[in-house]
Structure 1
Amino acid sequence: MAEVVGPRLYSCCNCRNHVALHDDVISKAFQGRHGRAFLFSHAMNVVVGPKEDRQLMTGLHTVADVSCSDCSEVLGWKYERAYEETQKYKEGKFILEKSKIVKENW
């Protein structure tokens, strides 16, 4: 009998709260505050903080920090607005830092 396996997903490194699905990864080639980061189309079980303008490597963006809804660990940020036309594809998407998330069901 085949094993029943749930979807591959990512969890908070601190409390194992499920925060994103592997199927929602857009890119693994992003840079976060503390190293490599992944760009996701969606995130779940997170709290989005207040918006602020931040000068990032790719220009000025309006972003909001994203925290785990269970333990409040800051996991990354959400792109609210991109000011440069070439960066508009990031709007509404999430950066989760590789060091802040762990794989589940792999």
Structure 2
Amino acid sequence: MLTVLLAIHIIVAVVMIGFILIQHGKGADAGASFGSGAAGTVFGAAGSANFLTRTTAVLAAIFFITSLALAHFAQKQAEDQLRLDVPAATSTPAPADN
């Protein structure tokens, strides 16, 4: 379970980085209005910004949830390693000498 969660976390992080790098900054809107052909894109003039923003928000939420889950698993592992009241192994009692 921990390995699957860690794999999902890493994949979401890499995809989120890609989506963030694809997005335009606020300063790019002024340059786009002077004829860069934004209206001819696949998503329309403003559709790609909404799609990228929403997808990034969903990926950020998934990243946050997986981060919390990984922290929970790490805390459980640390508690198990530091616990002193758990017996190391159960042993049979020694036979009594008669």
Tell me if both proteins adopt one fold, taking TM over 0.5 as the criterion: no
- The answer to which structure has the higher helix fraction is 2
Which bin holds the TM-score, normalised by the shorter protein?
under 0.3
Give the TM-score normalised by structure 1.
0.26
- The answer to which structure has the higher strand fraction is 1
Greater RCO between the two (CA within 8 Å, min separation 6)? 2
Give the TM-score normalised by structure 2.
0.28
